Amino acid sequence: RAPAPAAVAAASAAGGATVEEEARERERVAKMGAAVRTLLECLGEDPDREGLVDTPTRVANALLYCTRGGRVDAAAAVSRLVSRAMYDERHNEPVCVRDITFHSLCEHHMLPFFGKVHVAYVPSGRVVGLSKLARVVDVFARQLQVQERLTRQIADACAEALGAAGVAVVVEATHMCMAMRGVERQGATTTTSCYTGVYRGEGGAALRAEFLALVGGRGGCDR
């Protein structure tokens, strides 16, 4: 029996994958592997040579791992993550977690983009365990994405799951589709921002200024 794909093996070890799910994942890996083999042949490579013989399966498993967030109910996943770590607390000033690293895949070229996410929220009587904000980022980053949508999804998910009075998000990223091909500009960084609730509009100007000062002045657009 062939070893289970990495994503299924991890879920199975945690008690999260059924025999049927494992069988479906094996079939998916086999189908994807055949497609990768075809790509290698189209590139003029010999997929049977020593260095490439296992590449189709490796690529299939890697893509499944990097896009696993796209095959779950994101709202339910975020709700489960957050509900386990919400605490009653009278703190009503902004809470900011900066420099949350992430990796994602651009949906246009399926090349990586990566960088940092900065998240702040104003509690409404409850606070969340800080690590959960990083996990929320992972839910949306681990799928085929564009940075603009990723930024909005993180902000909206945090606002709803935390019941926050407002959420601010800034994403800074380097895109390999811009660095490795096309204009081939290394070192260019794309910055996007999103604000909800008390962070929006003229009334949120002071909160936005505080947030931007905390994250180093980045992301000045009020989206």
Which of the following is catalytic: 147, 153, 172, 194? 147
Among the options 89, 108, 148, 221, which is catalytic? 108
Instruction: Check 66, 118, 153, 175 and give the catalytic one.
Output: 175
Which H or E element spans position 160?
Answer: helix 147-162
Does residue 164 contact residue 122 with C-beta atoms inside 8 Å? yes
147 is a catalytic site residue: yes
Question: Among residues 75, 147, 155, which one has the least CA distance to residue 122?
Answer: 155
**Residue 12 one-letter amino acid:** S
Residue 190 DSSP SS3: strand
Distance CA 53, CA 47 (A): 6
- 107 noted as active-site residue: yes
Which residue among the candidates 45, 96, 109, 210 is catalytic per the annotation? 109
Q: The dihedral of CA 105, 111, 112, 113: what is its sign? A: negative
Choosing from 106, 143, 145, 172, the catalytic residue is 106
Say whether 153 is catalytic: no
Which entry of 21, 89, 107, 148 is annotated as an active-site residue?
107
Active site includes 106?
Answer: yes
Residue 91 a catalytic site member: no
N- to C-terminal Cα separation, the chain: 52
- Neighbouring-strand partners of residue 134: none
Q: Active-site residue 103, yes or no?
A: no
96 is catalytic: no
At residue 119, φ and ψ (nearest 5 deg) are -130, 135
190 forms bridges with which residues in the sheet?
A: 173
Residue 3 DSSP symbol: P
Question: What residues are labeled active site?
Answer: 106-109, 147, 175, 177
